[in-house]
Amino acid sequence: MSDGVSIAVVGVGAIGGAMAAALGDAGHNPALCVRTPFQHLSRHFDGETREYAHRVYTRPGDVSHVDWVLLCTKAHQIDGAAHWLRRLIGPDSRVGVMQNGVDHAARVSAYAAAERVVPCIIFLPANSDEPGFVEQARAGSVQVPECRAGRALADLFAGQSAVTVAPTADFVSAVWSKLVSNAVGGAICALALEPLSAVAATQVRGLSTGLIEEIMCVGRAEGASFPEDFAEKTIEKFRGPIGGHWTSIAADRRDGRPMEWQARNAVVGQIGRRHGIQTPLNDALTALLALIDAPSK
């Protein structure tokens, strides 16, 4: 590694693979901690396919404490990654939680103190159809809090152009704005089994608006601020070029995989109740997603 920083990426799917490749471009050699083994990591980006010599690990017993852990599993898969986190996270380790939602530090509180955790907001169009291969459509970006740990995470990615990591002063507003899109688009599209344009469909316009306003209300109680026309602009953006995109949670339902409704929707009701805020629309969609996601009896 160029500066002696030890890094491990836990979960090397689309996001984890793209992050590991970007770290390689920046001169690092992260350990790749995976469930399904592969020979080497490859990423297709900007018309070029590049291979990386990052070492792939499938057994937690083969790794030890590192300076940085980038947790790139989906939020509902943390329990499955617990054996990696116990081995990798030491008293001086920092953890970049590269997942959806707003409760990043709480999810890993059993493994790292809150001050050692850097929550990340990911905007990265990538997919992985086979282990070890990532196709990245365009340059991605990550927002992190404006703090010492956030700046340190951003520094890891310096010197490359595939992923930009930027400290953000008003991180609370940024993370809740992203949750609005994830919670509304994810729930409606997963239930309807439709791409993002479904959020702006005439039949569900009122539902979409009501959901957004509920989540904004909870977000404001947490200290977030939103532009006056945020709800309208959020719905309208789903009419644009991204309207044909399938959210990961909708794709998971379509393909028979567990869904990430806990971090997208259940968390809204949980936080709302702490503030005495009712979220009936969000709670109803959460209940439907949980029912669909429950194991067959």
Residues 177, 223, 124: CA angle, nearest 5 degrees:
25
Q: Six-digit token pair at 251?
A: 């794709």
Per CATH, is 171-293 categorized as 1.10.1040.10? yes
C-alpha 294/C-alpha 46 separation (Å) is 40
Which residues in the chain land under pLDDT 50? 1, 297
Catalytic residue status for 178: yes
For the chain, the domains span 7-168, 171-293
| pLDDT value at residue 295 | 73
Cβ–Cβ under 8 Å, residues 18 and 162 = yes
- The owner of tokens 């947490």 is 222
| Catalytic-role residue among 178, 233, 237, 297 | 178
Cα 71 from Cα 269, distance rounded (Å):
25
How many other C-beta atoms are found inside a 10 Å radius of the C-beta of residue 291? 8
Residue 259 CA to its chain's centroid (Å):
13
Angle at 34 between CA 30 and CA 36, to 5 degrees: 140
SS3 for the chain is CCCCCCEEEECCCHHHHHHHHHHHHCCCCCEEECCCCCCCEEEEECCEEEEECCCEECCHHHCCCCCEEEECCCHHHCHHHHHHHHHHCCCCCEEEECCCCCCHHHHCCCCCCHHHEEECEEECCEEEEECCEEEECCCEEEEEECCHHHHHHHHHCCCCCCEEEEEECCHHHHHHHHHHHHHHHHHHHHHHCCCHHHHHCHHHHHHHHHHHHHHHHHHHHCCCCCCCCHHHHHHHHCCCHHHHCCCHHHHHHHCCCCCCHHHHHHHHHHHHHHCCCCCHHHHHHHHHHHHHHCCCC
pLDDT tens digits, one per residue of 49-87: 999 999 999 999 999 999 999 999 999 999 999 999 999
- 115-141 pLDDT tens trace: 999 999 999 999 999 999 999 999 999
- Match domain 7-168 to its CATH number in 3.40.50.720, 3.40.50.10680, 2.40.50.140, 3.20.20.70: 3.40.50.720
In this structure, how many other beta carbons lie within 10 angstroms of the beta carbon of residue 43?
Answer: 25
> Quick count: other Cβ atoms within 10 Å of Cβ 245?
16
The per-residue pLDDT for 4 is: 85
pTM given for the model = 0.93
* Rounded Cα gap, residues 70 and 153, in angstroms: 10
Q: What separation in angstroms does the CA of 84 have from each of 14, 99, 185?
A: 19, 17, 31
pLDDT at 59: 96
CB 168, CB 161: distance < 8 Å: no
